[in-house]
């Protein structure tokens, strides 16, 4: 045991013994960047024209530059989202990020929402840092075609190019990285068919492939099949894919594939035939034919006598049906016909009579609106469960509440797949307006109508699940506040306003001219006009929709409008 005097001496020497260790750890923490990477950062600062307050000169980039992350004396991540250019830099803005090639240890580059107008340079294909795993260029103003070898360099796990103006075909090279898990190409102007992706052992770890909201077309077959093997969720909705012979789809989705708003025959929520024909005519391509059932080998060998017997039997059945119909018509002609006034055709083509011309047309419910809350409604549509929706909305808490609507409370949420949704929660006992809206959305679909993703009923609660609209409604867009009062726009430009007005007109044209019977919205206002990422119009607030009055009840049209307020 040390004597007391020796113990005191040891305590005095302890700081001197630990000082070299502390100095070495401090030096390691403040290890300077390599000159090549420091030069690359300053080159990137100059080419992007970033403000000095974000990336100050004569300061340590790892400690003082916003969005720059370093690890072990190397630049590991750059985040431009939220940064701004100087006035001079904004005038010469371009896709000028050549300095990234000097950051050999870069793992993540995020320019989401940062303006990078221009084409993606060709060197992005094979000269990205080999350590790069995340590349996010969402809504960055990028245009032009994708480099043919994009994805051949780096070790990409996430590639996000959504919300730009990219055109041309999707190169197969974007799937080259074996570690790719998220690939988002949605809301661009990409064309052509889906590429056939080669799938090998260990390539099935992908989570999401999203190419919705583009101009992709052609037969959907082998390309979709290979993508389904590579990714858990494949979203190719809002395109113009046709159906190739031999391809059979049982439902709109098998749990992993979203196919809404395409040109697929025999599937729900697809584009109109006229819309598809016009698109393929403009592109000079034939619309893919629907699948044809091939005859079985047994039928090919049927003798001609059996064929003749079948034809004669069918002809006999037709003759019997014709004679029966003629006899029924003759019997009915002998009866007294009701007067023509007050007769109209409902949605099923059945003639019905009103007792008097003063009957409110809303009493005569069309065939797409159920009179009972639970009559004819499925318990679950598209695989949503009450527990799932309760979870994504935080238990329908106030933090996820968007607003209290006239027909129910509206919440926002995000599914496990990353898809953002809006959920309307209503009480079946207090309001039946949503039954009309649900019946319409189940049977009708159009590019300008808000898409219904799912519906379910639990006890006395009804939940309607809609696609999330990134720009909110027209009220929010018209009265938005600029981020910078000096440089920001006070409101929408006139080109965008004209685009929105045309979109609303197309939605009303669908209701008035393409629906049978013609329908009236009765609740057109700014909050009813919903806007997607590129200010594409989706008409909502459909709970007041009703058939257009016939000639005998047009005098009551203004009364119906007043009653909806």
Q: Cα(424)–Cα(409) distance, rounded to whole angstroms?
A: 6
Question: 3-state SS of 258-308?
Answer: ECCCCCCCCCCCCCCHHHHHHHHHHHCCCCCCCCCCCCCHHHHCCCHHHHH
Reading the block at residue 193, the tokens are 């068919």
Contact 223, 198 (CB under 8 A): no
Pick the catalytic residue from 254, 382, 523, 533.
Answer: 523
What is the helix (H) or strand (E) element at residue 408, kind and residue range?
strand 408-414
Q: Cα(342)–Cα(357) distance, rounded to whole angstroms?
A: 6
Q: Cα(334)–Cα(235) distance, rounded to whole angstroms?
A: 59
Residue with tokens 């730009």: 164
Contact 439, 430 (CB under 8 A): no
Contact 148, 168 (CB under 8 A): no
Query: For the CA atoms of 371, 372, 376, 377, what is the dihedral angle to 10 degrees?
Result: 110
Angle at 402 between CA 396 and CA 406, to 5 degrees: 95
Q: Cα(337)–Cα(485) distance, rounded to whole angstroms?
A: 72
What is the helix (H) or strand (E) element at residue 15, kind and residue range?
helix 4-29
Q: Cα(546)–Cα(534) distance, rounded to whole angstroms?
A: 30
Is 533 an annotated catalytic residue?
Answer: no
Read off φ and ψ for residue 162, nearest 5 degrees: -70, 155
Name every residue whose Cβ is closer than 8 Å to that of residue 556 and which is 6 or more positions away in sequence: 358, 360, 361, 549
Contact 110, 81 (CB under 8 A): yes
Residue 402: how many other CB atoms lie within 10 Å: 14
Contact 44, 97 (CB under 8 A): yes
Q: Cα(418)–Cα(165) distance, rounded to whole angstroms?
A: 22
Read off φ and ψ for residue 476, nearest 5 degrees: -65, -40
Catalytic residue annotation: 523
């Amino acid at each position: 045991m040390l004597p007391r005097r020796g113990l005191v001496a040891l305590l005095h020497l302890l700081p001197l013994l630990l000082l070299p260790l502390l100095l070495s750890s401090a030096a390691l923490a403040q290890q300077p960047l390599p000159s090549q990477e420091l030069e690359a950062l300053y080159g990137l600062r100059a080419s992007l024209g970033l403000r000095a307050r974000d990336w100050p000169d004569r300061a340590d980039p790892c400690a003082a530059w916003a969005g720059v992350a370093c690890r072990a004396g190397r630049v590991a991540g750059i985040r431009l989202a939220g940064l701004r250019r100087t006035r001079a830099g904004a005038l010469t803005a371009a896709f000028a990020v050549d300095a990234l090639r000097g950051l050999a240890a870069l793992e993540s580059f995020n320019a989401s929402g940062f303006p990078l107008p221009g084409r993606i340079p060709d060197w992005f294909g094979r000269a990205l840092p080999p350590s790069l795993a995340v590349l996010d260029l969402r809504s960055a103003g990028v245009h032009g075609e994708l480099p043919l070898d994009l994805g051949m360099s780096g070790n990409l796990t996430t590639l996000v190019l959504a919300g730009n103006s990219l055109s041309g075909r999707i190169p197969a090279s974007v799937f080259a990285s074996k570690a790719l898990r998220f690939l988002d190409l949605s809301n661009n102007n990409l064309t052509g068919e889906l590429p056939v992706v080669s799938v090998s052992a260990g390539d099935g770890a992908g989570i999401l492939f999203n190419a919705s909201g583009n101009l992709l077309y052609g037969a959907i077959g082998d390309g979709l099949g290979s993508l389904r093997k590579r990714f858990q969720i494949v979203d190719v909705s809002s395109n113009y894919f046709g159906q190739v012979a031999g391809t059979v789809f049982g439902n709109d989705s098998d749990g992993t594939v979203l196919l809404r708003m395409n040109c697929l025959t025999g599937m729900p929520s697809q584009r109109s035939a006229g819309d598809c024909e016009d698109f393929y005519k403009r592109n000079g391509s034939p619309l893919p034919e629907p699948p044809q059932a091939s005859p079985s080998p047994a039928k090919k060998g049927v003798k001609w006598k059996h064929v003749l017997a079948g034809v004669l039997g069918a002809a006999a059945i037709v003759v019997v049906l014709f004679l029966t119909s003629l006899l029924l018509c003759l019997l009915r002609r002998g009866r007294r016909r009701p007067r023509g006034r007050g007769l109209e055709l409902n949605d099923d083509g059945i003639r019905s009579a009103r007792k008097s011309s003063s009957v409110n047309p809303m009493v005569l419910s069309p065939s797409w609106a159920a009179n009972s809350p639970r009559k004819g409604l499925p318990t679950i549509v598209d695989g949503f469960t009450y527990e799932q929706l309760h979870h994504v909305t935080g238990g329908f808490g106030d933090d996820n509440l968007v607003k209290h609507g006239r027909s129910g409370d509206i919440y926002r949420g995000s599914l496990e797949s990353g898809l953002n949704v809006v959920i309307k929660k209503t009480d079946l006992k207090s309001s039946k307006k949503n039954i009309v809206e649900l019946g319409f959305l189940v049977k009708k679909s159009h590019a300008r109508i808000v898409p219904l993703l799912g519906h379910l009923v639990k006890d006395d609660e009804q939940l309607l699940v809609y696609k999330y609209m990134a720009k909110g409604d027209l009220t929010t867009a018209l009265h938005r506040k600029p981020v910078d009062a000096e440089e920001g726009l006070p409101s929408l430009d006139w080109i965008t306003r004209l685009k929105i007005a045309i979109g609303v007109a197309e939605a009303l044209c669908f209701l008035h001219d393409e629906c049978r019977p013609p329908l009236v919205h009765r609740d057109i206002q700014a909050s009813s006009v919903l806007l997607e990422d590129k200010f594409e119009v989706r008409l909502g607030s459909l709970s007041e929709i009703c058939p257009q009055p016939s000639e005998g009840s047009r005098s009551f049209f203004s009364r119906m409008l007043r009653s909806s307020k």
